Amino acid sequence: MNRHDADHEHEHDELAARLRQLPAERLPPATAWQGIAARLREEPRLRPAVVAAPAPRRRRWLPIAAVAAVAALVLLGTGRLRELHEQPPAPPESPLEVQADALADQYRQAIAAIPQDTVPVELVPALHELDASAAGIRSAIAQSPDAGFLLGQLRRTYALRLELTRQGLAAAGLAT
């Protein structure tokens, strides 16, 4: 990344000089590292940089195939194979979905502590819109498991939903 190419005119003007003098650093909020540390704790252990070459694919799958064949025979005997075909197991969740689930659990616990039946009527459409937004973001997370920024959007949506509910109750004179 060498500075500038064939742009000598701009190189010397005042705007360019001011842009280059903008602060190179900005202190991130403390919550940034806390969030990273929390997510790292949920990450699987790192594999070493140098890993042994995996066994040939065919050999690796042979024992699994044998076990699967035996299991299939057993299931056939008990009549459960058809049942399993009809209800295929759900695919495993991505790390992002797992974090979204954890976030949703925290939100549900927080919202459960607030009496919902006394929320002012005028707030209800906004709350429904936020619920729909949260559901949309969770759906987007399921479709784009690498889009980490969606987790931030989900967190903000849940936080706003909680805050609006609390403010609505406070306006109605109810302590939360």
Partner 1 sequence: MDMLAATVTATASHPQAADDATLARAAAAGDGHAYECIYRRHAPRLYALLWRLCGGSAARAEDALQETFIQAWRKLPQFRFESALGTWLHRLAVNTALMELRASAAFEALDIGEDGMEVLAGLPASMRCNATGLDLERALETLPPRARAVLVLHDIEGWKHQEIAEELRMAVGSSKAQLHRARGLLRARLGETP
Which 65-124 residues touch partner 1, going by CB under 8 A?
none
Applying CB under 8 A, among 25, 86, 117, 122 the residue interacting with partner 1 is: 25
Q: How far is the CB of 166 from partner 1 (least distance, A)?
A: 10
**Closer to partner 1 by Cβ: residue 81 or 133:** 133
Q: Of 122, 133, 120, 121, whose CA–CA distance to 160 is shortest?
A: 133
Give the number of other Cβ atoms within 10 Å of residue 99's Cβ: 19
Applying CB under 8 A, among 116, 144, 170, 172 the residue interacting with partner 1 is: 144
Which 26-45 residues touch partner 1, going by CB under 8 A?
26-29, 31-33, 35-37, 39-40, 43, 45
- Cα four-point dihedral sign 153, 159, 164, 165: positive
**Closer to partner 1 by Cβ: residue 95 or 174:** 95
Tokens of 100: 């979204």
Applying CB under 8 A, among 114, 142, 153, 174 the residue interacting with partner 1 is: 153
**Closer to partner 1 by Cβ: residue 106 or 144:** 144
**Closer to partner 1 by Cβ: residue 40 or 53:** 40
In angstroms, the CA 79 to CA 75 distance is 6
In angstroms, the CA 118 to CA 95 distance is 36
Mark 5-24 with x for binding to partner 1 (rule: CB under 8 A) and - for no binding: x-x--x----xx-xxxxxxx
Torsional class of 44: left (φ above 0), alpha (ψ -120 to 50), beta (otherwise): beta
Binding residues for partner 1, how many (CB under 8 A)? Answer: 56
- Contacts with partner 1 by CB under 8 A lie at 1-5, 7, 10, 15-16, 18-29, 31-33, 35-37, 39-40, 43, 45-49, 129-130, 133, 136-137, 140, 144, 147-153, 156-160, 163-164
